[in-house]
């Protein structure tokens, strides 16, 4: 076995896994390894804040399907990553976080930047390796990279800083790739039987379809059944939007056409989705989930089967392999739904046309608060829905789009359509403001030839805009759209609906985001006329792709607000103490 230092073994194992980019901020704790990144062909991308590095690794892995890597100095550099790793966990992103730790002789003595770094990631990792002996550096590094992909989630490699040094004899382990199968024979046979009896089958295409590269397989099965396909919440890229069977996303601010169609299903094939609780909440006043339908759920993780929704059969398998197996089982069979294919095609077409027309006519929100806000705003402030429609029309082919958490970003769900998987990177179930911008930067590093566009509200933008400096310093051109409505709108909406419009902490007095962008060395465009929205996006994308420039497109919006996030989780306030009586 060749003689190496642990630093060399660490770097060589990453090279064996194809690592080309690592996001982070430098620190003495891992400097011995960082010193040889460049000759190993690894680019270290310094960021502004380590949370950004974790989000970038997430975006990188979501677009490439490979491991994204981030790191930071022990203690604060590492703890700064917690939110980003939590977000990656709920996005099912194979991110490897390398956390150098206090040296073995200092642990427990309360030294500089000393802390126990495993518990803080315990909740948000699929696997944690602690290097207890320098001779195991290659083994545990390799395992973290393998497990991130096999379990589709973050893993942590925790390395006491003194263990980078020394001599070890070691072979670099080859990456291992899981060969995933379609699932069990019995469950597949039962599912095929249920499908062949279905009168009105509907397919839910989720993130597992994207991760399994199974959009083609899903399309073939949908066509065989003539079944409408809805996207699970925030997986709008799990089926091509131009396909006649595509019916749009379920969930918050999703497609009414998709919801109406699934509400009439007698069989639902839930492909690569855990049917998460937030993503199937009632919307647009519709409780659309078909409680009496038979549900077939396919998920690579058996613990997701039947976890949230009652199911008739659960298949633990790869979405693509399971669909291929179902197709073979249905081959040559006459299905109950064959006779009604034409009527169902017509119904799908009509529901979609009526939803598109409703979206075209839904220019602004019409509740009392929004009407007053529109009145107050006057000239120079745009209706978010109209802005989102214009952006949709101007969206370049092959675009990657990330979205943040906020009211306008949520409304955007109705207007984001994709032809290709690995194109949409929303902040998923962890739901942290500040997600979108660093995530799109990471995606751009993995796919520099694709246009990269992030959406964020002005509040979320404030949390993340510092990474504009990363784009400028590191030549990673992206386009950021900022919806400037002068408020933390999504939360303020709860004060409108539940707290008697007692506005506490919801207003944002902003300086010019275009001006701030220019001060950071990027381009800035401020849009206050509807007719300029599309051309501003086109210009920014042109500068991104042809001049290597990052542009912040700030769009001035009214304070009107769409439906709230969590009507389900809020109650009217009750006050018992007399001094708070007015606050009920």
Ligand X SMILES: Cc1ncc(C[n+]2csc(CCOP(=O)(O)OP(=O)(O)O)c2C)c(N)n1
- Whole-number minimum distance, CB 482 to Mg ion, in Å? 9
Q: Reduce the secondary structure of 536-554 to three states and give it as a string.
A: HHHHHHHHHHHCCCCEEEE
Residues 37 and 28: their CA atoms lie apart, in Å, by 14
Residue 214, binding choice from Mg ion, ligand X, none, Cβ under 5 to 8 Å by partner class = none
Residues 492 and 494: their CA atoms lie apart, in Å, by 5
- Whole-number minimum distance, CB 463 to ligand X, in Å? 7
Residues 441 and 421: their CA atoms lie apart, in Å, by 18
Counting other chains too, the contacts that 394-399 makes at CB distance below 8 Å and 24 or more residues apart are 394/533, 394/534, 394/535, 394/537, 394/538, 395/453, 395/537, 396/451, 396/538, 396/541, 398/423, 398/450, 398/451, 399/423, 399/450, 399/451, 399/452, 399/453, 399/541
Tell me which of 300, 313, 460, 555 binds ligand X, using CB under 6 A: 460
Per-residue contact string for residues 481-510; x = within reach of ligand X by CB under 6 A: --x-x-xxxxx-------------------
Beta bridge partners of 101: 160
- Whole-number minimum distance, CB 527 to ligand X, in Å? 16
Residue 405, binding choice from ligand X, Mg ion, none, Cβ under 5 to 8 Å by partner class = ligand X
User: Residue with CB nearest Mg ion?
Assistant: 457
Residue 433, binding choice from ligand X, Mg ion, none, Cβ under 5 to 8 Å by partner class = ligand X
Residues 534 and 530: their CA atoms lie apart, in Å, by 8
Residue 490, binding choice from ligand X, Mg ion, none, Cβ under 5 to 8 Å by partner class = ligand X
If the CB atoms of residues 458 and 467 are measured against Mg ion, the closer one turns out to be 458
If the CB atoms of residues 353 and 371 are measured against ligand X, the closer one turns out to be 371
- Token readout for 46 is 């310094």
- Whole-number minimum distance, CB 461 to Mg ion, in Å? 8
Q: Are 296 and 193 in contact (CB under 8 A)?
A: no
Q: Are 471 and 480 in contact (CB under 8 A)?
A: no
Strand pairing report for 3-4 and 168-169 = antiparallel
Which is nearest to 81 in space by CA: 161, 163, 158?
158
Give the DSSP letter string of 326-377.
HHHHHTTPPPTTGGGHHHHHHHHHHHHHHHHHHHHH--S--SHHHHHHHHHH
If the CB atoms of residues 88 and 557 are measured against Mg ion, the closer one turns out to be 557
Stretch that binds ligand X, among 133-141, 189-197, 274-282, 432-440 (CB under 6 A): 432-440
Q: For residue 148, give every residue at least 6 positions away whose Cβ sits within 8 Å of its Cβ, in sequence order, or none.
A: 67, 94, 95, 96, 126, 127, 154, 155
If the CB atoms of residues 248 and 489 are measured against Mg ion, the closer one turns out to be 489
The pair phi, psi for residue 560, each rounded to 5°, is -60, 155
If the CB atoms of residues 74 and 83 are measured against ligand X, the closer one turns out to be 83
Stretch that binds ligand X, among 255-263, 369-377, 400-408, 467-475 (CB under 6 A): 400-408
Residue 432, binding choice from ligand X, Mg ion, none, Cβ under 5 to 8 Å by partner class = ligand X
Strand pairing report for 551-556 and 294-299 = unpaired
The site for Mg ion (CB under 5 A) is made up of: 457-459, 485, 487, 489
End-to-end CA distance of the chain: give it in Å, rounded.
73
Q: Tell me the three state secondary structure of residue 426.
A: strand
Q: Which one-letter DSSP state was computed for residue 558?
A: -
Length of the chain: 584
If the CB atoms of residues 23 and 483 are measured against Mg ion, the closer one turns out to be 483
- Whole-number minimum distance, CB 515 to ligand X, in Å? 18
Residues 281 and 272: their CA atoms lie apart, in Å, by 19
User: Residue with CB nearest ligand X?
Assistant: 457
Q: Is 407 in the site for ligand X (CB under 6 A)?
A: yes
Per-residue contact string for residues 258-297; x = within reach of ligand X by CB under 6 A: ----------------------------------------
Q: Is 52 in the site for ligand X (CB under 6 A)?
A: no
- Whole-number minimum distance, CB 427 to Mg ion, in Å? 15
If the CB atoms of residues 147 and 492 are measured against ligand X, the closer one turns out to be 492
Q: Tell me the three state secondary structure of residue 102.
A: coil
Beta bridge partners of 554: 482, 526
- Whole-number minimum distance, CB 561 to Mg ion, in Å? 10
Q: Is 432 in the site for ligand X (CB under 6 A)?
A: yes
- Whole-number minimum distance, CB 553 to ligand X, in Å? 15
Residue 427, binding choice from ligand X, Mg ion, none, Cβ under 5 to 8 Å by partner class = none
Q: Is 457 in the site for ligand X (CB under 6 A)?
A: yes
Question: With CB under 6 A, what is the number of residues at the site for ligand X?
Answer: 19
- Whole-number minimum distance, CB 406 to Mg ion, in Å? 6
- Whole-number minimum distance, CB 82 to ligand X, in Å? 12
Q: Is 405 in the site for ligand X (CB under 6 A)?
A: yes
Residues 128 and 153: their CA atoms lie apart, in Å, by 11
Tell me which of 65, 244, 264, 431 binds ligand X, using CB under 6 A: 431
Residues 281 and 114: their CA atoms lie apart, in Å, by 43
Tell me which of 146, 299, 390, 458 binds ligand X, using CB under 6 A: 458
If the CB atoms of residues 32 and 458 are measured against Mg ion, the closer one turns out to be 458
Which is nearest to 277 in space by CA: 232, 230, 319, 231?
232
Q: Are 304 and 318 in contact (CB under 8 A)?
A: no
If the CB atoms of residues 323 and 556 are measured against Mg ion, the closer one turns out to be 556
Beta bridge partners of 157: 98, 129
Residue 407, binding choice from Mg ion, ligand X, none, Cβ under 5 to 8 Å by partner class = ligand X
- Whole-number minimum distance, CB 69 to ligand X, in Å? 23
| CA 270, 276, 277, 283 torsion-angle sign | negative
Residues 84 and 94: their CA atoms lie apart, in Å, by 13
Q: Tell me the three state secondary structure of residue 298.
A: strand
If the CB atoms of residues 79 and 485 are measured against Mg ion, the closer one turns out to be 485
Tell me which of 406, 421, 438, 442 binds ligand X, using CB under 6 A: 406
Q: Is 433 in the site for ligand X (CB under 6 A)?
A: yes
Residues that bind ligand X (CB under 6 A): 405-408, 431-434, 457-460, 483, 485, 487-491
């Amino acid at each position: 076995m060749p003689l190496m230092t642990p630093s060399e073994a660490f770097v060589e194992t990453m090279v064996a896994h194809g690592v080309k980019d690592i996001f982070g901020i430098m620190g003495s704790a891992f400097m011995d390894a960082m010193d040889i990144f460049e000759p190993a062909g690894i680019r270290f991308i310094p960021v502004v804040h380590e949370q950004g590095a974790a989000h970038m690794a997430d975006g990188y892995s979501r677009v490439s399907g490979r491991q994204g890597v981030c790191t930071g100095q022990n203690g604060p550099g590492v703890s700064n990553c917690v939110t980003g790793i939590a977000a990656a966990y709920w996005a099912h992103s194979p991110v490897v976080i390398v956390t150098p730790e206090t040296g073995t002789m200092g642990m427990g003595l309360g030294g500089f930047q000393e802390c126990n770094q495993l518990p803080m990631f315990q909740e948000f990792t699929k696997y944690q390796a602690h290097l207890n002996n320098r001779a195991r550096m290659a083994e545990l590094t390799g395992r973290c990279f393998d497990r991130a992909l096999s379990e589709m989630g973050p893993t942590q490699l925790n390395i006491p800083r003194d263990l980078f040094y020394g001599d070890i004899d070691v072979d670099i382990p080859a990456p291992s790739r899981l060969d995933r199968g379609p699932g069990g024979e019995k469950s597949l046979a039962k599912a095929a039987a249920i499908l062949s009896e279905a009168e009105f089958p509907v397919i839910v295409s989720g993130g597992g379809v994207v991760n399994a590269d199974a959009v083609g397989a899903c399309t073939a099965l949908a066509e065989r059944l003539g079944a409408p396909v809805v996207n699970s919440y925030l997986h709008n890229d799990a089926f091509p939007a131009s396909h006649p069977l595509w019916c749009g996303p379920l969930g918050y601010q999703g497609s009414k056409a998709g919801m109406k169609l699934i509400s009439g299903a007698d069989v639902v094939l839930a492909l690569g989705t855990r049917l998460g609780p937030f993503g199937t909440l009632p919307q647009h006043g519709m409780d659309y989930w078909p409680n009496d339908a038979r549900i077939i759920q396919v998920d690579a993780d058996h613990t997701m089967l039947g976890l949230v929704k009652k199911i008739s059969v659960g298949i633990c398998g790869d979405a693509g392999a399971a669909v291929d197996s179902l197709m073979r089982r249905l081959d040559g069979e006459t299905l109950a739904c064959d006779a009604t294919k034409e009527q169902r095609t017509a119904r799908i077409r009509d529901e979609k046309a009526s939803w598109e027309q409703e979206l075209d006519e839904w220019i602004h929100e019409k509740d009392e608060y929004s009407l007053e806000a529109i009145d107050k705003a006057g000239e120079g402030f745009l209706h978010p829905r109209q802005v989102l429609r214009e952006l949709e029309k101007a969206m370049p082919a092959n675009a990657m789009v990330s979205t943040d958490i906020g009211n306008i970003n949520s409304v955007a769900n109705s207007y984001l359509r994709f032809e290709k998987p690995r194109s949409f990177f929303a902040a998923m179930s962890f739901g942290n403001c500040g997600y979108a911008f660093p995530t799109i930067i990471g995606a751009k590093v993995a796919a520099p030839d694709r246009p990269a566009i992030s959406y964020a509200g002005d509040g979320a933008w404030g949390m993340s805009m510092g990474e504009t400096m990363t784009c400028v310093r590191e030549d990673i051109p992206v386009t950021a759209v900022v919806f400037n409505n002068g408020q933390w709108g999504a939360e303020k909406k709860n004060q409108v609906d539940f707290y008697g419009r007692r506005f506490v902490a919801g207003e944002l007095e902003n300086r010019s985001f275009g001006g701030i962008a220019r001060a950071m060395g990027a381009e800035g465009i401020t849009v206050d006329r509807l007719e300029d929205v599309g051309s501003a996006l086109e210009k920014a994308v042109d500068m991104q792709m042809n001049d290597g420039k990052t542009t912040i497109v700030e769009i001035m919006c009214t304070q009107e607000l769409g439906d709230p996030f969590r009507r389900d989780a809020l109650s009217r306030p009750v006050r018992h103490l007399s001094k708070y009586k007015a606050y009920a």
